[in-house]
Structures are given as structure tokens and as C-alpha cells.
Amino acid sequence: MGNSRGSHNSSDVVQTGAELVQQQEQKDIARQLVERARAEGVNLVGDNSLFKGLLKHVLEGALEAEMSEHLGYEKGDPAGRGVANSRNGTSSKRVRTEIGEVEIDVPRDRDVSFEPQIVPRHQRKIEGFDEAVLSLYAKGLTTGEIQQHLAEIYDMDVSRGLISRATDKIKDEVDAWRNRPLDKIYAVLMIDAIVLKIRDGAVSNRPVYIAVGINLEGERDVLGMWVGTGGEGAKQWMTWLSELRNRGVQDVLISCCDGLKGLPDSLTAIWPQTDVQLCVVHMVRNSLRFTSRAHWSAITKELRQVYTAPTEDAAKALFSEFEEKWSGQYPAMTGLWRKNWMHFAEFLKFPPGVRKIVYTTNMIESLNSRVRQASRRRGHFPSEEAALKVLYLAIRHREPNRPNPTGRTHNWKAAINVLAGFYGDRVDLDGLPLTNE
């Protein structure tokens, strides 16, 4: 038994060693090819480049291998003589790849039954073209700019119509995503609107309503996005929140929103037990609208002491001092906090770890900044559909070491235990998978 285990381990080491040798050989071959190309003045990219030549060789080799498997014998093998079907030369075909257009010779058979897989019939694009176009589209490039980029960088002569068809392929995916069923319970729901310039006859500012949820497993996701008309309104939010309920959301523990008039009532009309938390960042930002820039630094510093207080009673005491100091000069600012205190103070009952998750809708702001970058190039979106496609692509794209609208919530196990203590049976954890953090 011991010998068997030793033999097994030895085999693994030999296999791993062989793989390492093969990898090193591949690297050496690549290095030698590049060095030779440079020495002989051969371009690495562009027409007649080394990479295009290599890709042509690889594709044609793969097609020949497919043909051999289809016919049952290798090219030149005497076994193929006299068989019913045999090779019948090649046909030329130009395909678009991520390094430009490449002309290849596709083998044919006499009874035209060969169906190549690596480059299927009638396909002129190798895998990766649509992804490259969508990536450029998400960054805000128009179809004309993408056409120019592909021509300059990849030496591709591509029509705007083809580029439009590549981006249109995402439409069905967006529609399915916007109508997908949702979880029954969300621990946190963040809602906010961003404003985009969209053409509908004339170019105008249009609100795009966005809802981000964190489920009981700690997974954060964009639950819905909708283009509205006019300004952001609580009645319009009621329509979109009702849609979330119809897609399966039966309960929300905490919802974070801005100070839009009537919005807390809209939320509790859909989910009566929901605790509504006003976004603290919006509260501070709105406070500065009523004050002189000369006082911004002092005001934000003192408000920070209020919203980071250890308890609600401590926050009330600090706010009383703040109000006494500033209410004479800025009654509108202090009145804003007094009026909205109940929904502002909701998060103060939680420990710091949970407060950090529920006190702001800034996750939607991070999505807004991505879309601004895309819209800055365009100036405006040609349609609602175009705006939603770019938004969806921005949501789908994850940026390393940056805030992302989707993903795992940090330190969620500690947070969900706190929420279970506060909300009892509403936090239904039965059947949730085990996860590592």
C-alpha cells in the first residue's frame, strides 16, 4: 500500500515536470520567433506580421486536423485512396481576429459534408471580436469611433452596420437580466437615480433609477434600472419598487435612499416593515447647499462627529450643540436635519461594521462615475436602449481594486449575525450555502 502511494506521487511529479518543460519550450520558441522577427525586420503586428502568420498557420493546421478526423485518415495517407469521400482542395477565406484580418485556406471535401468547428461556415469573425467591440462601446466610443479604432489598431475594415449588430446582440441579454427573478429577502436595498443626457427627439436630461440589493448571503447586485422622464419622483419610484416586488422581493430589512420627498413612504407602502435610512452623504451634501463655502470645512467636520457618534443619544447631544451654533445663521440647514432625524438616525442602532454597509448609496455613485466617463465621450446617448446597454456593460465589468456595484460584501458574516439579532425570524438563513470570507 505504501509502495502504491509512492508510485502515485512519483507519477504526479513526472507529469508536472513534463508540463513545466513543455511550458518552458513554448516560451523559448516564442522568444526565438520574436528575436528572429526583429532581426529580420519582420513586424510583430500589421499586414504580413509575425503574429498574423502564426495565427494563419495555427488555424489552417487545426482545420486540417478537423478534416482528417472527419474523413478518417491523414492528408497523404494511402488509406484514403478509393474511399467515397476525399479532400477536394481548399477555398480562401478572410476572417476577422483580435489582431486584424487574416486570410486562411479552408480544406474542402468532395461531398461537401465537412463542417469545420474552429472557423464555422459563413463565420467571418473569430471568437473575441464581439467582446472587443462591446468593451469599446462600454467605454463610450460611438460606432464610428469603434470603426476607426479597429482600422487603426487592428487593420480591420469593418462596417458600422457590423459593429451595430455586435452591440445589438447584448439587447436580449439586457432584457433577460432586467426581468430575472429576484431573491425573496434582501438585507439591504439601496436606491438612487443618476441623470444622463438622452436623445428622444431632442436631447434632454433623463433620470435613470437604479436599485442595488444585498441578499442574505452578502452578495451585492444591481436589481433593476429604469429610464424615467422629467425629474426624479417618488411616484415613479413606487412603480419601479412594485416591479421588484412582482419579481419576487417579499421583504427588505433596511433601505437606504436620498432625501427625496415622499420616498420613505413609497418604500414602506411596498414593504411595510422596512427600516428606511436616509443616505448620510446626501444629507451632508444637501446641508452645504444652504451654507457659505467659507464654512464648509467646519460644518462637515462637526456633522461627522454627529453621524459617527457611538449611540443615538450621543448623536442627539452633539447635534444640539451643532444646532445652537449654526441655526441662527443657517436655519434651513439645521431644519433639514431636525426634520429628517428619524430616518437619519436609523443606522445608529447598529455597530460600526453594519453602519458602514447601510449609511450611504455611494455604491450607485461609483456606477454613476463609470457611466459619466462613457457619456463624456459621446455628449449624449442616442436612445434609452443605448443608455441601458452601456449601463449594463458597466455593471458587468469588474474593475480590480475599485468599488464595484456587484460582488461580495466585506465582513458579511459578522453583519448578518447582527441583523439576525435585530430582525429575528425575518432573517431566514435556512438553506443558505456555507461561504468563506
Q: What is the pLDDT of residues 5-34, one digit of tens each?
A: 444 443 343 445 555 555 555 555 555 555
Residues 361 and 422 in one domain: yes
pLDDT digits (tens, 9 = 90+) for 201-216: 898 999 999 999 999 9
The boundaries of the domain holding residue 150 are: 130-176
| Cα–Cα distance, 349 to 424 (Å, whole number) | 15
pLDDT score at 44: 45
> What does the alpha-carbon distance between residue 181 and residue 249 come to, in Å, rounded to a whole number?
9
36 domain-assigned = no
Give the pLDDT of residue 434: 55
Tell me what pLDDT residue 1 has. Answer: 44
Q: Is 330 helix (H, G, I), strand (E, B) or coil?
A: coil
Residues 6+ apart with CB under 8 A from 356: none
359: pLDDT strictly greater than 60: yes
String of DSSP letters for 105-130: EEEEETTS----SSS-TT--B-TTHH
Indicate whether 255 and 298 sit together in one domain: yes
Alpha-carbon distance of 386 to 374, in angstroms, equals 11
118 & 138 share domain: no
Lowest mean pLDDT, pick from 60-74, 132-146, 355-369, 415-429: 132-146
| Residues 260 and 378 both lie in one domain | yes
62 in the same domain as 164:
no
Between helix 362-378 and helix 384-396 the angle, nearest 10°, is 130
Task: Spell out the residues 6+ positions from residue 340 whose beta carbon is closer than 8 angstroms to its own.
Answer: 259, 278, 283
Instruction: Spell out the residues 6+ positions from residue 65 whose beta carbon is closer than 8 angstroms to its own.
Output: none
Q: Under a CB-based contact definition with an 8 Å cutoff, are residues 310 and 350 in contact?
A: no
pLDDT at position 381 is: 83
pLDDT given for residue 173 in this prediction: 87
Hey, what amino acid is at 306?
Answer: V
Region 153-167: what's the mean pLDDT? 66
Number of structural domains, the chain? 3
User: pLDDT higher for 115 or 433?
Assistant: 115
Q: Are residues 171 and 300 in the same domain?
A: no
> Which residues fall within 8 angstroms of residue 80, CB to CB, at 6 or more apart?
71, 73, 86, 87
pLDDT one-digit tens code per residue, 257-281: 988 889 999 999 999 999 999 999 9
Write down the pLDDT at residue 167.
Answer: 72
**Confidence band, pLDDT 50/70/90 cuts, at residue 129:** low
Could you report the per-residue pLDDT of 382-413, keeping only the tens digit for each? Answer: 888 888 888 888 888 777 777 777 889 989 99
DSSP class of residue 381 equals B
Flag whether the pTM goes above 0.75.
no
- The answer to whether residue 256 sits within a structural domain is yes
On whether residue 258 sits in a domain, the answer given is yes
Mean pLDDT, residues 419-428: 93
State residue 299's pLDDT score. Answer: 97
Are 281 and 372 contained in the same domain? Answer: yes
Instruction: Give the count of beta carbons closer than 10 Å to the beta carbon of residue 189.
Output: 25
pLDDT of residue 379: 73
Of 123, 142, 164, which residue is a domain's last? 123
Same domain, 422 and 287: yes
pLDDT of residue 112: 87
Q: Are residues 136 and 202 in the same domain?
A: no
Residues 51, 162 share a domain: no
Counting every residue written for the chain, the total comes to 437
Q: What is the CA radius of gyration of the chain?
A: 30
Q: Looking at the predicted structure, is the pLDDT value of residue 428 above 70?
A: yes
State pLDDT tens for residues 181-193. 999 999 999 999 8
pLDDT for residue 4: 39
Statement to judge: residues 211 and 285 lie in one domain: yes
Residue 416, pLDDT score: 94
Q: Which of 3-7, 53-57, 299-303, 364-368 has the lowest mean pLDDT?
A: 3-7
276 in helix, strand or coil?
strand
Q: Classify residue 352: in a domain, yes or no.
A: yes
% of the chain with per-residue pLDDT over 90:
41
pLDDT for 11 equals 37
- Tell me the pLDDT of the chain averaged across its residues: 81
Would you give the DSSP letter of residue 93? E
Q: Which of 93-97, 205-209, 370-374 has the largest mean confidence?
A: 205-209
Share of the chain above pLDDT 70, in %: 74
